[in-house]
Structure 1
Amino acid sequence: MRTLTVAAFISLDGVIQAPGGPEEDRSGEFRFGGWIVPYADEATGQAITDLFSQPFELLLGRRTYDIFAAYWPRIHNHPIADPFNSVPKHVATHRADTLAWHNSHALKGNIVDLIRALKQQDGARLLTQGSGDLVRQLLAAGLVDELRLMIFPVVLGRGKRLFDDSAFASAFTLAHSTTTPGGVLITRYVRSGEVRTGTFEDAE
């Protein structure tokens, strides 16, 4: 059995839409595309490289797949491009015949059941990047084992968010955190069971 890691660039108010550029995703009249770019530095670059340095297979929604497939196959001898271009890519899509990027595999049908079955197999960890719609389904189904969040010191006010009201209630343990000179909080959270509650009266 293998684990499933959700990696995301996220604002203080939970937005994950179009972090990398103005044209990435303008839906909903989103006007802040590229909001992580001013914070890019050696520390954020190293964190991204470290994320992809361990064995993984990509798990992608169709929109993110199309963005990646239009860019990464043209890049070579690069610490992100090389693994992205070689590893298996599992894609939630109804258009299997259009998956031209090397080593791409369509997930057609009940996506939750299909990913649950993937997790039961032997192999490298499953890793999502972007793919907000897919990730929200994974969170709702309780399939996420680890969150790798880069939290940026901005409030965007609107845009697609990582978490919504459908997320399965779960507790996570902070396994690692560090802060970049630009104020980006780089975190790793590991799922640790059910949410615990209590009262301050009990503590007294």
Structure 2
Amino acid sequence: MTPVVVSTLVSLDGYVAGPGGDISRLPVDGSFDALNLQRLRAAGTLLLGATTYRQMVAWWPAVAADPSVSPAVQLDPSAAGLHRETARRNAELPKVVVSDSPTPADAGPWADTTTIVRRADAHAAVAALREQAGGGDVLVFGSRTLWGDLLAAGLVDELFLLVGPALLGAGLRAFPDGVPADLRLRGTSRLPGSDSVLLHHTVDRVRPN
């Protein structure tokens, strides 16, 4: 079975975004970028919601063409290689977008590697991805609405939660109400040069609502 792996940044008080979807107070640093690349290297498919996909396709092709457009690279030119590889892997990996709103035209330069799945078909599509043998993880970045639904349906296998030293006070909670799951802690680590702590959990089973 191919695992569905969620990787997300969360505040200390449990939010993935502040009011209005604001993520500016979450600690996005070089260690966060390195973690994302590590997860991409282990991935065989990207599984995304429409909002995250649109953000990625609007950003990473430009970075692929010129890493210096990234503020992180402007601050530290030595990060150019990391951002270039991240952009390349985002472009090359097969991408499955779960949403009723996008069209193939929204995929732009990623059209050849993007498949759009309607919400009604999402569980069956993800179950089929999990049945594939080898080829790397099915990786979910961001996309909290999507992975919250998949977690409730028993279709998430691992969670990498990067807990940052910020209190947002309000906003979009990492875990929506009514999503029961039994988790097992597999590892913890403090990222190098960062005050963020990575928690790695596997999902043992999901109890019915």
Give the TM interval when normalised to the shorter protein.
0.7 to 0.9
The 5 Å alignment of 1:1-204 reads 1-17=1-17, 28-29=19-20, 32-37=22-27, 40-41=29-30, 43-76=31-64, 78-94=84-100, 95-98=102-105, 99-100=107-108, 101-102=110-111, 103-108=113-118, 109-122=120-133, 123-193=135-205
Which is further off, 122-131 or 45-54?
45-54
* SS, match of residue 186 in structure 2: strand
Compared CA separation, residues 143 and 11, structure 1 to 2 (3 A): same
Distance in 2 (CA, whole Å) between partners of 1:128 and 1:46 is 16
Greater Rg by CA: 1
Contact 2:152 2:206 in 1 (8 A): no
Q: How far apart are residue 47 of structure 1 and its match?
A: 2.4
State the shift of 1:74 in Å: 1.8
Report the CA distance between 1:179 and its aligned residue: 4.2
State the TM-score, normalized to the length of structure 2. 0.77
Amino acid at match of 1:66: R
Unaligned runs of 5+ in 2: 65-80
Q: Secondary structure at the match of 2:15?
A: coil
Deviation at 1:45, TM superposition (A): 3.5
Find the residue that maps to 1:70 and give its secondary structure. helix
Contact 1:178 1:187 in 2 (8 A): no
What letter is aligned with 2:89?
P
Deviations 1:86-125 (A, max 9, x none): 0000001223333332400011233122211221123321
- Name the CA distance, whole Å, in 1 between partners of 2:99 and 2:167: 32
* In structure 2, distance between residues paired with 1:60 and 1:69: 11
Q: 2: distance between equivalents of 1:181 and 1:69? A: 29
TM-score normalised to the size of structure 1? Answer: 0.79
User: What's the offset of the Cα at 1:152?
Assistant: 0.4
Unaligned runs of 5+ in 1: 19-27, 196-204
Q: 1:15, 1:158 within 8 Å by CA — same for their partners in 2?
A: yes
Where relative contact order (Cα < 8 A, 6+ residues apart) is larger, the structure is 2
Cα deviation for residue 180 of structure 1 reads 4.2
- The letter for the 2-side match of 1:125 is D
| Structure 1 moving runs of 4+ over 6 Å | none
Contact 2:187–2:200 (8 Å) recurs in 1? yes
Structure with higher helix content? 2
